[in-house]
Structure 1
Amino acid sequence: MIVACKHCDKLINVGQLGLQQRAICPVCHAHLLNCKSEQQQWLNAFSIASLLFLFSSLYPPFISFSQRGLSQQMSLWDAVILLSEKYSTALALMFIFTILIMPLVVCFLVLITNSTLWSRLNPHNARWIAKALSYIMPLNLADIFLVAVLVSTFKLMSYAELSMGYGFWAYVLFVFCFVELLTLIDASTLWQRQQKQFEPKPLLCGQSALSQSLKQCGVCGQLTSQSHCPRCYAKTFFRKPHTTSRAFAWMLTSLVLMVPANMLPIMNTINLGQNTFATIFSGIVIMWQDGSYPIAIIIFVASICIPLFKAGALFYLLFEAQMCKNPKRASQLYRWLEWMGKWSMIDVFVVIILVSLVQLGSVLTVEPQIGIVFFATMVLCQMMAVHSFDPRILWDKLKTNE
């Protein structure tokens, strides 16, 4: 089977893969295909296990804490209700999307694509299911939320006594199952089971699809010279439309939002009637002074270093696309940006967790502030900037073997 690499656009002839093997692009080292034993059975098993553990984590006690004779016990569902009723509907929607809607959609779509229904679906309907799965998978923040829970517990230890409930341990099991599920999903294998790939003739391996006037479908990966994919009927493009201008606009917007996100307070801690407003940097300083060095370093790297590095890295990629001096290194940098993009959301989830779990009146209460809205918007803009960038343009001006 001949496939086009999504990162360098080179046509690669992938032979028959053995079990537990995967194909890597020899040009840019991007992942192409994988073949795992009993992959469909494992996908179904991890989907069902994820659903069971997810529902088991919503209603039992998630975390409980006490201070000065007052105690509180909160479940994840109670936290969502409290956020929506007392504070911010936007934060509540982000919270429920992360812990419930996104995992539910992915698990149900995976179960559909691994059932007998998938091969009998009309290509139009199959396209919408595959597109929904490809769009929502990068938005997985379940593992980030779990890390944020651990960070929040370190913050709360200085104020109150904590204990984890059954809901927390069920959520830990859910995260492990769900992350493993995402690693097993392979879009190429999924579409090969729905409908075999058409191979336009002739194909010259080692050269780019663009040099042969071929487009790669962004949904199913089909190679075609037509304006619409012959397999899933999606509209096809040689490259993502306006990729450089969109990526630049999104990243420039994130840089503008970075100023109020770091200058304005993200939360207010009311302890015995005393208000303590905290920005991202002041929160890091407090944790460092309290001796929580690993947590302070994690927050500093995720919330300050990574957004700045991502902005610089994307501008470098836009420059590299014009110069084309080292596309292989630039492609590796782009894959790193894709993987690291969501980790800046740790601080957002820390605030959400603290606001929804810590409500002891004047004794101890945490309230969200406007800074967290700017910060969350900034992170989402950076994720959109990376998603808008087409890494294939890094190789377009390279004439080797063309």
Structure 2
Amino acid sequence: MILACKHCDKIINVGHIGQQQRALCPYCGSQLFSCRNNQQQWINAFSIASLLFLFSSLYPSFISFSQHGLKQQISLWDAAMLLGDTYSTMLAFVFIFTILLMPLAVCSLVLIAQSPLWRRLNPHNARWISKSLSYIVPLNLADIFLVAVLVSAFKLMAYADLELGYGFWAYVLFVFCFIELLTLIDENELWQRQQPQFEPKTLFCGKSAKSQALKQCGVCGQLSSSTHCPRCYAKTYFRKPQANARALAWMVTALVLMVPANLLPIMNTVNLGQNTFATIFSGIVILWQDGSYPVAIIIFVASICIPIIKALALFYLLIETQRCKRVEQASKLYRWLEWMGKWSMIDVFVVIILVSLVQLGTVLTVEPQIGIVFFAVMVLCQMMSVHSFDPRILWDRLTPHE
């Protein structure tokens, strides 16, 4: 099979690979595709298991919180309804999208793609399913939410008694099944089953597709010189349109939002009638003073260090597209940015969990504040910035020396 690497645009002839093997790009080191034993059967099994565990976690008790004889018990569905009815509609939407809509959409689309219906779909519908998967899968935040639950539990254990319900354990099983499902999804394999790839007549392996006047379809990976993909009919480009400008615009917006996100309070704790407003940094200081050092370090790294490092890293990548000195290192940095982008959402989910769980009237109540909205939007803007960047531009200046 001849294909172009999505990260460096080099044309590569991938021979037959055996079971439990994967193909890596020899130039930038990114994974091209993988092959596992009974891959389709495992995908179906993990999709169905994920759906079963997900629905099993929505209504049973997720976690309970008790203090001074008062007890608050909450399920995931009740938490979402409480957020939407009482506090923030935006936080409720983020919560519902993360724990329900996104996993439900992924599992449903994957089951369709693994069924006999997939081969009979016309290219337009197949393109819609594949494109939806490519947009939704990177937004997986289920594992981040689970870590946020554990962080919230550590924060509350010093003040009250906590009990994990059946909903929590069902969600843990869902997260393990869902993450395994995402590792098995191979868009190239899906399209090969839907419609085999058309291979252009003249191809020189080791050179970039752009240098041979070939465009790689952003949906199905097909190589062609036409304005529309001959396999899925999507519009094709040599590079993402205005990739650097869009990435810079999203990151600058994120930096502007970072100021109110860190200065404004993200939550208010009402304890026996006294209001205690907390920013991200003050919350970290309180955790450190209480002796919760691991939790304080996790929040500090995820909520303060990572957003700053991501901004600096993206600016470095934009400069590197002009200098072209350390292309391989820059490609590895971009793949790291793709993986790390979502971890800053831990603080958002911690606030959502505390607001949903800690509702004991005047004894102890947690309320969200405007800062957490700015922070959530800031993280999403950074994710959009990384998604808008085209790593193939890093390799373009090497073309004359190939």
Aligned to 2:45: 45
Contact in 2 for aligned 1:195/1:231 (Cα 8 Å):
yes
* 1:159 Cα deviation after fit: 1.9
Per-residue deviation, 1:39: 0.4
In 2, distance between residues paired with 1:400 and 1:172?
Answer: 51
Aligned position for 1:312: 312
Instruction: Find the counterpart in structure 2 of residue 177 from structure 1.
Output: 177
Asked whether the 8 Å contact 2:261–2:374 carries over to 1, the reply is yes
Q: CA deviation at 1:247?
A: 0.3
In 2, Cα distance between equivalents of 1:31 and 1:205: 17
Take 1:44 and 1:348, find their aligned partners in 2: how far apart are those partners?
Answer: 32
State the Cα RMSD in Å.
0.6
Distance 1:148 1:34 in 2: 31
Q: TM-score, normalised by structure 1?
A: 0.99
- Structure 1 residue 398, shift from structure 2 partner: 1.0
Matched, 1:121 2:121: yes
Name the amino acid aligned to 2:195.
Q
1:158-237 equivalent positions in 2, closer than 5 A: 158-237=158-237
Give the aligned residue type for 1:230: P
CA positional deviation for 1:181:
0.2
The answer to whether the 8 A contact 2:207-2:399 is kept is: no
Question: Which position in structure 1 is the counterpart of 2:341?
Answer: 341
Cα-to-partner distance string for 1:303-340 (whole Å, 9 max, x where unaligned): 00000000000000000000100110000000000000
Once the two structures are superposed, residues 121-155 of structure 1 have per-residue CA deviations (whole angstroms, 9 ceiling, x without a partner) of: 00010000000011000000000000000000111
Which residue pairs with 1:292 in the alignment? 292
Displacement after TM superposition at 1:401 (Å): 4.8
Q: Which amino acid aligns with 1:192?
A: Q
- The whole-number CA distance in structure 1 between the counterparts of 2:119 and 2:374 is 44
Segments of structure 2 that go 5 or more residues without pairing to the other structure are none
Deviations 1:30-88 (A, max 9, x none): 00011111100000000000000000000000001110010111100110111111001
Does 2:254 align with 1:258?
A: no
Shift of 1:24: 0.2
How far off is 1:157 after superposition?
A: 1.2
Residues in 1 aligned to 2:361 and 2:159: alpha-carbon distance in whole angstroms: 14
1:47-196 to structure 2, matched below 5 A, reads 47-196=47-196
**CA contact 1:261–1:371 (8 Å) conserved in 2:** yes
**Are the equivalent residues in 1 in contact too, given 2:208–2:399 (CA < 8 A)?**
no
Q: Does the 8 Å contact 1:50/1:177 carry over to 2?
A: yes
What SS class does the counterpart of residue 226 from structure 2 fall into? coil
1:327-380 Cα offsets, whole Å, 9 max, x none, are 100000000000000000000000011111111001110000000010001000
Task: Tell me the secondary structure at the aligned position of residue 268 of structure 1.
Answer: strand
CA distance in 2, matches of 1:16, 1:400: 31
Match of 1:226, SS?
coil
Structure 2 CA distance for aligned equivalents of residues 188 and 221 of structure 1: 7
Q: CA deviation at 1:399?
A: 3.6
Give the residue type in structure 1 aligned to 2:100: L
Distance 1:107 1:52 in 2: 11
State the one-letter code of the partner of 2:387.
H
Runs of 4+ in structure 1 displaced over 2 angstroms? Answer: 399-402
In the TM superposition, residue 201 of structure 1 has moved relative to its aligned partner by 1.0
- Residue pair 1:222, 1:229 contacting (<8 A) in 2 also: yes
How far off its partner does 1:162 sit?
0.4
Equivalent-residue separation in structure 2 for 1:66 and 1:349 (angstroms): 21
Counterpart in the other structure of 2:393: 393
Pairs within 5 Å for 1:320-331: 320-331=320-331
Deviation at 1:400, TM superposition (A): 6.2
Equivalent position amino acid for 2:79 in 1: A
Give 5+ residue unaligned stretches, structure 1: none
Letter in 1 for 2:24: I
CA distance in 1, matches of 2:74, 2:121: 43
In the alignment, is the contact (CA less than 8 A) between 2:63 and 2:163 conserved in 1? yes
- Aligned partners of 2:400 and 2:111: how far apart in 1? 44
Kept in 1: contact 2:74–2:357 (CA 8 A): yes
Query: Which residue identity lines up with residue 114 of structure 1 in the other structure?
Result: Q
Contact 1:207 1:401 in 2 (8 A): no
CA contact (8 A) 2:247 2:386 kept: yes
| Number of residues of Structure 1 aligned to a counterpart in Structure 2 | 402
CA deviations over 1:270-321 (Å, ceiling 9, x no partner): 1111111000000000000000000000000000000000000000000000
> Aligned with 2:3: secondary structure?
strand
Corresponding residue SS for 2:219: coil
Residue equivalent to 1:351: 351
